[in-house]
Chain A
Amino acid sequence: DVKVTQSSRYLVKRTGEKVFLECVQDMDHENMFWYRQDPGLGLRLIYFSYDVKMKEKGDIPEGYSVSREKKERFSLILESASTNQTSMYLCASSWGRRRLGLTDTQYFGPGTRLTVL
């Protein structure tokens, strides 16, 4: 079974704090993704990575950065948290068949509910 884990289920931070959200997958997947989920807006892609040290912006990258130093780990960083970043953050991973131009099933972690006060 694919397992994607996220470092925290619930997190409360203050405005201006630097926040790290960690995601680890144990299936040797090449691709990893960060989404946020908000009521009425669904899931929106923040950043993704198709290889170690590689990253690409998704649809809403503003206010976020990412780091992928190891294949199994993908970190989302909020440099200076703001209240509008209060959300559910979901990490996902998938096999890599990018060279073939194929999209594969993404497997999600349980999510981190972040509250910024």
Chain B
Amino acid sequence: GESVGLHLPTLSVQEGDNSIINCAYSNSASDYFIWYKQESGKGPQFIIDIRSNMDKRQGQRVTVLLNKTVKHLSLQIAATQPGDSAVYFCAENRYSGGGADGLTFGKGTHLIIQP
């Protein structure tokens, strides 16, 4: 899920298939992780979050997996729909236990849904 240079990684999937978006995070002390969806011209929209005391959390059609050993986060979207086309960002809290300390964002992954 991390970008190289100025180009966002792109994931292209067929409508109806499952999508998996990956993210490597940087701070081994982070204890809160969150996924956002951003459509063109809009602000980021909350999808799902997870705290470090969990490995997996499920929402409606979405699942977040957290692997603290390798500092990896993934977002799974089931039965992808055209409305899922967007840029997806992972984020971690900047300092564990800080509370109101803001988030550090990954560069984003562009999800494209093919009919």
Contact = CB atoms under 8 A, between A and B. Distances in A.
Main secondary structure of the interface of B (DSSP, over half): loop
A74 interface: no
Nearest to B5: A40
Nearest to B6: A40
B3 interface: yes
A99 B94 CA distance: 16
Nearest to A44: B105
Interface of B: 3, 5-7, 31-32, 34, 36, 41-46, 49, 89, 91, 93-94, 96-108
Interface of A: 4, 30-31, 33, 35, 39-45, 48, 50, 56, 58-59, 90, 94, 96-103, 105-111
Given A45-B104, A99-B99, 10 more contacts: A30-B100, A40-B107, A43-B91, A43-B105, A45-B94, A48-B100, A100-B99, A103-B31, A103-B100, A108-B44
